[in-house]
Structure 1
Amino acid sequence: MRAATLTAFGSPLTVGEVPDPEPGGGDVLVEVLATVVAPYAAEVFSGERKYPLEPPVVPGVGGVGRVVVVGADATKLRPGDLVWCDSTVRARDDALTPDITLQGWSSRGEGGARLSRYFHDGPFAELMRVPTENVHPLPAGADPVRWAALGVHVIPYGGLLAGGLAAGETVLVSGATGNLGSCAVAVALAMGAGRVVAAGRNRAALDLLADRFGARVRPVGLDDLADLDPVDLVLDLLPPRAPASAARAAALTVRERGRVVLMGGVGMLGDPDLALPYPWLMRNSVTVRGQWMYPREANVGLIRLLASGALDLAPERITRFGLAQVNEAVAHAAAHGGPFDRTVLTPVA
Structure 2
Amino acid sequence: MKAAVLKSFGSQLVIENVPEPVLGTGEVIIDVAATRVLSYMNEVFSGERNYALDLPVIPGPGGIGRVRAIGPDATKLSVGDWVFCDPTVRSRDDAVSPDITLQGLSARDAGGMLLQKHFRHGSFAEQMRVPTENVKRLGAITADEASRWCALGTLLVPYGGFLAAKLQPGETVLVSGATGNFGSAAVSVALAMGAARVIAPGRNERILADLVRRFGERVRTVKLSGDESNDREQMKRAAAGPIDCVFDIMPPSVSTTVVRAAIMTVRPYGRVVLMGGVGMAGGAGLDLPYPWIMRNCITIHGVWMYPPDAAARLIALVRSGLLRLDDYEVKAFDLDHANDAVAYAAANGGPFKMTVIRP
- Interval containing the TM-score (normalised by the shorter chain): over 0.9
Is residue 75 of structure 2 the alignment partner of residue 75 of structure 1? yes
Where does residue 47 of structure 2 map in the other structure? Answer: 47
Query: Is the Cα–Cα contact under 8 Å of residues 317 and 340 in structure 1 kept in the other structure?
Result: yes
Where does residue 232 of structure 2 map in the other structure? Answer: 225
Q: Secondary structure at the match of 1:45?
A: helix
The residue correspondences of 1:194-343 to structure 2 (distance < 5 A) are: 194-223=196-225, 224-229=231-236, 230-343=242-355
Q: Secondary structure at the match of 1:186?
A: helix
User: Among residues 146, 149, 153, which one is paired with 2:148 in the alignment?
Assistant: 146
Q: Distance in 2 between matches of 1:276 and 1:71?
A: 49
TM-score by length of 1: 0.98
Where does residue 106 of structure 1 map in the other structure? Answer: 106
The residue correspondences of 1:121-136 to structure 2 (distance < 5 A) are: 121-136=121-136
Query: Is the Cα–Cα contact under 8 Å of residues 178 and 200 in structure 2 kept in the other structure?
Result: yes
Superposition RMSD on alpha carbons, in Å? 0.9
Q: Distance in 2 between matches of 1:4 and 1:125?
A: 6
State the Cα distance separating 1:210 from its structure 2 match.
Answer: 1.1
Kindly provide the amino acid, as one letter, of the partner of residue 272 in structure 1: A
Unaligned 5+ segments in structure 2 are: 226-230, 237-241
State the Cα distance separating 1:201 from its structure 2 match.
Answer: 1.9
Output one character per residue of 1:155-200: Cα deviation in whole Å (capped at 9) or x when no partner. 0000011111100101000001111000000000000000001122
Query: Is the Cα–Cα contact under 8 Å of residues 205 and 338 in structure 1 kept in the other structure?
Result: no
Kindly provide the amino acid, as one letter, of the partner of residue 301 in structure 1: R
Where does residue 182 of structure 1 map in the other structure? Answer: 184
Query: Is the Cα–Cα contact under 8 Å of residues 4 and 15 in structure 2 kept in the other structure?
Result: yes
Q: Distance in 2 between matches of 1:260 and 1:152?
A: 20
Query: Is the Cα–Cα contact under 8 Å of residues 136 and 300 in structure 1 kept in the other structure?
Result: yes
Unaligned 5+ segments in structure 1 are: none
Output one character per residue of 1:130-163: Cα deviation in whole Å (capped at 9) or x when no partner. 0000000002126211101100000000001111
Q: Distance in 2 between matches of 1:120 and 1:227?
A: 46
Q: Distance in 1 between matches of 2:48 and 2:23?
A: 33
Query: Is the Cα–Cα contact under 8 Å of residues 190 and 311 in structure 1 kept in the other structure?
Result: yes
State how many pairs are aligned: 347
Superposed structure 1 runs of 4+ greater than 4 Å apart: none
Query: Is the Cα–Cα contact under 8 Å of residues 231 and 255 in structure 1 kept in the other structure?
Result: yes
Query: Is the Cα–Cα contact under 8 Å of residues 175 and 247 in structure 2 kept in the other structure?
Result: yes
Kindly provide the amino acid, as one letter, of the partner of residue 222 in structure 1: L
Q: Secondary structure at the match of 1:254?
A: coil
Where does residue 23 of structure 1 map in the other structure? Answer: 23
Query: Is the Cα–Cα contact under 8 Å of residues 89 and 131 in structure 2 kept in the other structure?
Result: yes
The residue correspondences of 1:152-191 to structure 2 (distance < 5 A) are: 152-191=154-193
Q: Distance in 2 between matches of 1:200 and 1:174?
A: 8
Q: Distance in 2 between matches of 1:225 and 1:139?
A: 44
> Is the deviation greater in 222-231 or in 50-59?
222-231
TM-score by length of 2: 0.95
The residue correspondences of 1:3-18 to structure 2 (distance < 5 A) are: 3-18=3-18
Q: Secondary structure at the match of 1:120?
A: coil
Query: Is the Cα–Cα contact under 8 Å of residues 199 and 235 in structure 2 kept in the other structure?
Result: no
